[in-house]
Amino acid sequence: MEHMMLLVTYRMLPGQRDAFLQEVAAAGILAKVQQEDGFERYDYYLSAADPDELLIVEEWDSEAQQQAHVNTDHMARLRAIKEKSMLLPPRCSALPKPTEHERIEKHPQPAGCGCFFQRRERNAQPLTPPSATPRTMNLDSSR
C-alpha cells in the first residue's frame, strides 16, 4: 500500500490534554517525527467542544514507513506519555489515497479553521502547508 493517512482520536484523562501536549513538545517528539523517512504530515487538532479529546492526522509515503515510525525510540517515549494521560485506547481510521481527481486541500472558509476535506477540482490552487501549531476544530458530528 502506498501513501497512508491515519486519523487517530485520543480520549484523554480529564484535564490532561494540555499537559500531554506540553510533555510531547518538551520531549521533542514532533521534531523527530518530521525527520523520519516517508513523513508527510503529523498534526494535532484540538476539539473546541471537548477539552479531553485530541485528533492526530498523520500522512506517510507508505505503510512500511509508517510501521517503521511506530517502532522508533521517540514513539516508545510517546507511548509512555500516553499511558499516563489517556483514558481509553486511541480510535484509528485509515483513509485511502485520493484518486487523481481528488485533492486534499485546506477549506477556504472560515479563515484559519484548519479543517481538511476532499474537493473534486482539477485546477485548485496549491495551498500553504499547515504549521505544526495545534489548531482548534469542532469534532462534534451533531452540528
For residues 143 and 50, which has the higher predicted lDDT (pLDDT)?
50
Predicted TM-score (pTM) above 0.95: no
* Rounded Cα distance, 87 and 33, in Å: 24
Helices 17-26 & 73-85 angle (0-180, nearest 10): 160
Tell me how far apart the alpha carbons of residues 48 and 77 are, in angstroms, rounded to a whole number: 27
SS (H, E, C) the chain: CEEEEEEEEEEECCCCHHHHHHHHHHCCHHHHHHCCCCEEEEEEEEECCCCCEEEEEEEEEEHHHHHHHHCCHHHHHHHHHHHHHECCCCEEEEECCCCCCCEEEECCCCCCCCCEEEECCCCCCCCCCCCCCCEEECCCCCC
Is-cis flag, bond preceding 110, omega within 30?
yes
What is the per-residue pLDDT across 53-80, written as a single tens digit (0 to 9) for each?
999 999 999 989 999 999 999 999 999 9
Q: What is the pLDDT of residues 25-58, one digit of tens each?
A: 999 999 999 999 999 999 999 999 999 999 999 9
